[in-house]
A and B are shown apart, each in its own frame.
Chain A
């Protein structure tokens, strides 16, 4: 059974710092991995999608990498800003490819 773990559960950093969020999964048979952001009381906003054949994706200050063989992904946020404060969720597809399995998320707080 696929399990997704995100470490750390919470992170506080000063503005301007570069940071890395970690995601690990137990079954490497995934179709893709997706990173989301969730603001309090809101829905999920898609940040990056990495297909299983890809190693990384970049969007602005965000870079996500995928190492399927080791069951790991990292989300790198450059030059963090207070507006980056949110919960970041990692999700992988299940074996059927019709559902996402989510980690519990990392809650990020960026202070000015």
Chain B
């Protein structure tokens, strides 16, 4: 059974640019969550989607957005990149959401902003 797949794995951008990250959940999973991991702040919740609806959003500026498609695949977008956006962005999937079961994480997309 394939795990959670994130693309791209690594990317370098410059300030002011925008970036789109992609996540393919485990087959049959309807909930997809996104997290940002930095050395200083640790893992922080960005947003969670279930059946194409955003159910929850973390405390991040509006430059961070996401969406989920009908096949449960998800994308997140960061516009007007800042140096502080450099981080490992992790996607996680679960059957129906974190309140009902286990979360499975992908390998992450490592973003470097220069």
Within 8 A of A (CB), among B1-60: 4, 6, 31, 33, 35, 42-45, 48, 50, 55-56, 58
The segment from A10-18, A69-77, A97-105 that touches chain B is: A97-105
Size of the chain B interface, CB-CB below 8 angstroms: 29
Size of the chain A interface, CB-CB below 8 angstroms: 25
Contact A43-B101, Cβ < 8 Å, known A99-B45, A101-B45: no
Q: Which has the most chain A C-beta neighbours within 10 Å: B43, B97, B105?
A: B43
Asked if B102 contacts A31 (CB within 8 A), the reply is no
Contact A44-B105, Cβ < 8 Å, known A96-B56, A99-B56: yes
User: How many whole Å from B53's CB to the nearest CB in chain A?
Assistant: 11
- A-B contact sample (12 more), CB < 8 A, given A46-B104, A97-B100, A98-B31: A43-B6, A46-B103, A49-B102, A91-B43, A93-B98, A96-B56, A96-B99, A97-B99, A98-B48, A98-B97, A100-B33, A100-B35
B residues sitting closer than 8 Å to A (CB atoms) are 4, 6, 31, 33, 35, 42-45, 48, 50, 55-56, 58, 90, 92, 97-108, 110
